[in-house]
Amino acid sequence: MKRGRTPTFRLLAGLAVTLSAVAVYSAYTVYQLRALERLQTATIDRNRTDSLLLLRIQQNLNNVALTLRDMLDQTEGYPLTAFRAPLARIHTDLDDAMEKEAKFSTGNPENRAYLAGRMKDFWTSMDSVFAIAEGGQTKKAEELIRVSIQDQLKALSSAVSRLLVQNNESEQRAAEDTRAFYQHSERNVYIFLAAVLIVVVLTSIYLFDYNRRMFDHVEELSNLRSELAQQLITTQENTFRSLSRELHDDFGQILTAIGAMLARAQRRTPADAGADKQDLREIQEVAQATLEKVRSLSQALHPVILEDAGFEGAIDVYLPAFEKQTGIAVQYEKSGASRELDRAVATHLYRVLQEALNNVVRHSKSPSAQVRLNYTSDSVVLEVEDRGVGLGKGEGRGMGIVSMRERAELVNGRVEFLAAEGGGTLIRMTVPAGVV
């Protein structure tokens, strides 16, 4: 995996494409909704209003037909001129309906022009009927109604019916267009959801693949880190072992020889040379103290007793020396049946013990500590507990604690840093039995 190769650009590009698709789809949907609104306003609503006005016209024409029937029926004995006023009211209402219908009409203009022309001719004919009736020619006026006026009225009714049929057909087409719009919109929704789903799936696949490769790379780095840590710790232990032997064998023997030579020189010094004997004694004491420090440093670098007496023997030697050097009282408990530990396991357990007790000295401010070694059927558990201030924020990342974790991993074990009951810190290292 190349450095700097992140999915950010591709994810941003995918997000931009998705947002663009959403914007385009939203704009197209708004356009369709406005088209549907225009369809409903310009066609459906206008047709409905026009149909209502045509029904009003047709009702008035029916009223005219009833009036004409009454004019021909002389059972009441009214003269024809008596019907002028009712027909005038119907005429006024018809003109009003015709005027309004002209504003909402969406049908064929030729049909409407035909209706207006026939309507004008009809009322002209009616004026002629009343003029004849006023001239005293009642029979002729009635004959004109039977022969011409009623036919004109039927033609008007037929024209209105045709316009109503046209409006109904237009409404049906508008309803079909509306259904088609909803079907088209539904199909677009499915297409859009499918496209979004495809984008999400592709993005998820890409992220999954990128995360898989990233985790593989992290795992590879972790393995390399573990190998490097193992090599560093092994090199460190070998170096410490070499230095410890040099200090113990070479420097220790040299200081021992110096001490012996000083003792021999002191014995040969005359008794009356008190000042010289005192100087030799002081030099011998310095040499002896230096020898003890060299041996202590040799023991700290690599306890030879681990190889000679094993892990428990090394603990028995180390803890009293630790108490003497630091003044911290250490209570040691062992439980379970002892068994021989692998050399690497013993070394790492010993180093964790050293580091844990050094943390007690440096950080805990505790006057005492407890060391517990427990052998179980499936593991070996080492615990170091104190009654100090506990682990502070950020202390869990120190080099000593990191080193303890690395050492535990090298023997397939684990180390835990816990808060002890009653305050303080509990460090527990567990090594499985398969390793020991």
Tell me which range, 102-106, 180-184, 327-331, is most confidently predicted by mean pLDDT.
327-331
- Shared domain for 26 and 171, answered yes or no, is yes
Q: 356 or 240, which is more confident?
A: 356
Same domain, 202 and 344: no
Q: Do 185 and 328 sit in the same domain of this protein?
A: no
Give the CATH number for residue 141. Answer: 1.20.1330
Q: Per DSSP, what are the bridge partners of residue 384?
A: 371, 427
Q: Considering only residues 261 and 384, tell me which one the structure prediction assigns the higher pLDDT.
A: 384
What is the Cα 268 distance to its own chain's centre?
89
Residue 356: give its domain's CATH number. 3.30.565.10
Of the residues 179, 207, 235, which one is the last residue of a structural domain?
207
**3-class secondary-structure state, position 310:** helix
Closest CA to 265 of 281, 288, 289, 252: 281
* pLDDT tens-place string over residues 340-381: 888 888 888 888 888 888 888 888 888 899 999 999 888 899
How many domains, the chain?
2
Residues 176 and 319 placed together within one structural domain of the fold: no
Residues 327 and 203 in one domain: no
Asked if residue 291 belongs to a domain, the reply is no
- Which range marks the domain in which residue 410 is found? 303-432
Residues 307, 198, single domain; the answer is no
Domain-located, residue 154: yes
Is the model's pLDDT at 427 over the cut of 70? Answer: yes
Domain's final residue, options 140, 175, 207? 207
Q: Is the dihedral of CA 126, 132, 137, 140 positive or negative?
A: negative
Residue 224 forms part of a structural domain: no
What per-residue confidence (pLDDT) applies to 380?
92
Mean pLDDT, all residues of the chain? 80
398 within some domain: yes
Q: Which of 359, 369, 386, 370 is nearest to 335 (CA)?
A: 370
Whether residue 308 sits in one domain with residue 171: no
Least-confidence region, from 175-179, 220-224, 301-305: 301-305
pLDDT band of residue 240 (cuts 50, 70, 90) is low
Q: Which of 181, 207, 233 finishes a domain?
A: 207
CA-nearest of 427, 315, 336 to 378 is 336
- The answer to whether the CB of 131 falls within 8 A of the CB of 110 is no
Residue 397: DSSP 8-state: G
Report the alpha-carbon distance of residue 193 to residue 205 in Å, rounded.
Answer: 18
CA atoms within 13 A on the CB side of 38: 6
Same domain, 186 and 321: no
Q: Would residue 138 count as lying in a domain?
A: yes
329 and 186 in one domain? Answer: no
* pLDDT over 90 (residue 405): no
Q: What is the pTM of this model?
A: 0.47
Higher pLDDT, 89 or 17: 89
In a domain, 262, yes or no: no
What phi, psi does 411 have (nearest 5°)?
-115, 25
Residues 179-205 pLDDT 10s: 777 788 778 878 878 887 887 888 888
- Can you give the C-alpha Rg of the chain in angstroms? 57
Is 51 in the same domain as 199?
Answer: yes
Per-position b or e across 173-196, b if 16+ CB within 10 A of its CB: ebeebeeeeeeeeeeeeeebeeee
- Within-domain flag for 285: no
Q: Is residue 361 part of a domain?
A: yes
